[in-house]
Homo-oligomer: A and B are copies of this chain.
Amino acid sequence: MDKLRIGIVGLGWVSQVFHIPQLRRFEDAEIVAVCDKDKSRARIIAEQCGVSHFYTDYQQMLAAEDLDAVDVCTSTDAHLPITLAALEAGKDVFVEKPIARRYSEAAQMAQAAEQHKRKLMVGMNNRFRPDTMILKSFIEKGEIGKIFYIKAGWLKKLSSDNKWITHKDKSGGGVFLDLGIVLLDLVLWMLGFPPVLRVNAKMYLHKTKSVEDSCIVFLEVKYGITLVVETSWSFHSEQDFFYCDFFGSEGSAMINPLRINKELHGSLVNVIPAKVETGYNLLMKSYENELKHFVGAARGLHPVISTGVEAMQRMKVVDAIYNSAVKGREILIK
């Protein structure tokens, strides 16, 4: 089979730093067209990629180019129309996280993929980190027993480059839709996608106007599991934090760095991987693994994971979280 022919829509930070450099290194894929509303940005990046045609209108790109797949890296509000158009045009679609601004949009996208029998993959690169993959294998082998409590958090300075992210009409929400959804997905994936039963959320606007810049969520997941997620763009902390700690009946486990605490033959031990990538390398590796997975799935080598259907379930929880914050009370999820 020939190389997978990919068109990229949206040429901001995530495209430039992660998607384009990775895709250009692949031997089984090819960027054949790029599209961005900013014409000069589209032209410059087309030159860098050795692509002769660039577009400012994704409809024109879909019409003119012979693409196998479309990689959607735009602001969140554009995910729905572009994805629908691409699926309708018979392309497989990779869409960056979050899939959409709300559950109803996600549902449309998942249904369109099913209807047109195309692959729809949602960007969740943290599932593809070397350390989270090791941790998942340890958890599945029962190293820490039955998990009952997880706490996760992501505190990160807001990048001033991504201004659309603070406008609700474009982003759908604030820090939870930007960072919290990643943690939510990571935890649910690690646990095998149990249903979330009820949520309780508090949101704060300190440096933003239309969306929350801090958010604390308390969730009850099926089987009596408790999950607490804290996210912020505005915490005054010494450095960015990303953590995810799992507590089980036989031990506990955490990432950043990856380690397990448990009993072994009667002694409490720490189990620490001898060598795992960290920092920038780990991040790069996660995008490489993720995009390789998408290319392989589009080429029919394996089923796709992180699908639109999975994202629907996740977005139902997200809707409930925003609802809880607005109502100031607990929300049950049916």
- Counting CB contacts under 8 A, is A164 at the interface? no
What residues on B are CB-neighbors of A134 within 8 Å? 265, 267
- The A contact surface, by secondary structure, is strand
- Contact A236 to B250, CB < 8 A, known contacts A137-B266, A200-B330, A329-B198: yes
- Counting CB contacts under 8 A, is A334 at the interface? no
- Counting CB contacts under 8 A, is A167 at the interface? no
A275 to B270, CA, bound (A): 10
Quickly give the copy total for this chain.
Answer: 6
What residues on B are CB-neighbors of A148 within 8 Å? 204, 214
What residues on B are CB-neighbors of A214 within 8 Å? 148-149, 247
What residues on B are CB-neighbors of A237 within 8 Å? 252, 261
- Counting CB contacts under 8 A, is A303 at the interface? no
A-side interface residues, number (CB < 8 Å): 53
- Counting CB contacts under 8 A, is A262 at the interface? yes
Contact status B271-A269, CB under 8 Å? yes
A220 to B330, CA, bound (A): 11
Which residues of A are at the interface with B, using a C-beta cutoff of 8 A? Answer: 134, 137-138, 141, 143-144, 148-149, 151, 198, 200, 202, 204, 206, 214, 216, 218, 220, 224, 226, 228, 230, 232, 235-239, 247-252, 261-276, 328-330
